[in-house]
Structure 1
Amino acid sequence: MIGNARIRLRPTLIDDLGYVISVETDPDNLPSITPWDRTQHEAAVRFPDFRHFIVEAGDALQPVGFVILVGCRNRHRSIELKRMVIQPKGQGLGRACLRLLKKIAFEDLGAHRFWLDVKVHNTRAKALYDGEGFVEEGRLRECVRTDEGYESLVVMSLLQAEYAARCDAGLEAAA
């Protein structure tokens, strides 16, 4: 288990997938993500290139969300933050989780590049990523099909040297 002052990450178990799917399909979260079915989550739990974690917080370490990293064995050392879903919102848990994930990606997994994509309309998440040093690389125009049409994604990344500079400046302290 990995943690900081606010949260702890523990590997997701198959028994946790009911919770994962319930959080992922919650009406507050659904517009911001493209949900997976149970089989996709099962594969991510089992496949060594993925890291699938339950996010826990509070004195009782209650589940507050989940995260998925992809490319953990990528020879190019480019790791993707595939999914981060945190509930409840507005308590700084997402920021604490993102800082911990950056530490894992760069310090534990040896990433050169840590990247993600975010839906254009998800301004709350985009502001978090901007504030945490991620740089916009471009947009994938109308690449996600929804019931209402198509949505675009913003691709963002943080490089190891940028992360190191943030650490030196004291910007990566536990949130």
Structure 2
Amino acid sequence: MIESGKIRLRRTEESDLAFVIGAERDLHSSLYIGQWKLEEHRAALSDPDVLHIIIEETPGARAGYVIVTGLTDPNLSICIKRIVVVNKGGGYGKETLRLLKEWLFRNTSVHRLWLDVRTHNARAQHIYEGASFTPEGILRECVKTGDRFESLQIMSILRTEYEAGR
């Protein structure tokens, strides 16, 4: 468990999956993130390569969830696959990113922490840049959403950049 005065991050449990699916399918969230089936989320709970986390405002009051992948990557490149916050505007996403980044760099051997963000999600890109993530490039029209294609901005922070900014 990881805590600050504002939130706590804890491992997702089977009993949280209905919340996770609901948060993921929320109309606003679904415009910006990928969708997993219940079975994919369930499998992630026991996968040593994946960290599936619930964001709580207070114990029991879920505010969102996070999926981190690549924990066993031999290249020491870990991906923040998904951050979903249902209580938007309260700073939960920024605080989650701060805690997660700090925990990963202090408790794993990660060299590169990266994520992708849809190019039309300017708000998230601004938050990631504020957290010292560097834009690396665009994967053009790589995600099919309905009958259209969307592009992803790849962003990352290296261990040396994290340590220099502490």
Q: Which amino acid aligns with 1:62?
A: A
> Is the 1:50–1:68 contact (alpha carbons within 8 Å) kept by the matching residues of 2?
yes
Alpha-carbon distance between aligned partners in 1 of 2:60 and 2:12, rounded to the nearest angstrom: 14
Per-residue deviation, 1:148 = 3.8
* TM-score, normalised with respect to structure 2: 0.97
* TM-score, normalised with respect to structure 1: 0.92
User: Would you say how many aligned residue pairs link Structure 1 and Structure 2?
Assistant: 166
Matches within 5 A, 1:118-129: 118-129=117-128
Q: Indicate the residue corresponding to 2:62 in structure 1.
A: 63
Q: Which amino acid aligns with 1:76?
A: N
Per-residue deviation, 1:56 = 0.4
Gaps of 5+ in 2: none
Per-residue deviation, 1:61 = 4.7
Q: Indicate the residue corresponding to 2:16 in structure 1.
A: 16
Per-residue deviation, 1:9 = 0.8
1:95-130 deviation line (CA, Å, top 9, x unaligned):
100001101221111211000000001111011001
Q: Indicate the residue corresponding to 1:160 in structure 2.
A: 159
Alpha-carbon distance between aligned partners in 1 of 2:14 and 2:138, rounded to the nearest angstrom: 34
Alpha-carbon distance between aligned partners in 2 of 1:48 and 1:4, rounded to the nearest angstrom: 25
Q: Indicate the residue corresponding to 1:171 in structure 2.
A: none
Q: Which amino acid aligns with 1:12?
A: T
Q: Which amino acid aligns with 1:29?
A: S
Gaps of 5+ in 1: 168-175
Q: Indicate the residue corresponding to 1:133 in structure 2.
A: 132
Alpha-carbon distance between aligned partners in 1 of 2:160 and 2:60, rounded to the nearest angstrom: 33
Q: Indicate the residue corresponding to 1:78 in structure 2.
A: 77
State the secondary structure of the residue aligned to 2:28. Answer: coil
Q: Indicate the residue corresponding to 1:108 in structure 2.
A: 107
Runs of 4+ in 1 over 4 A off after TM superposition: none
Matches within 5 A, 1:33-72: 33-58=33-58, 60-72=59-71
Alpha-carbon distance between aligned partners in 2 of 1:72 and 1:3, rounded to the nearest angstrom: 21
Percent identity, aligned pairs only? Answer: 43
State the secondary structure of the residue aligned to 2:27. Answer: coil
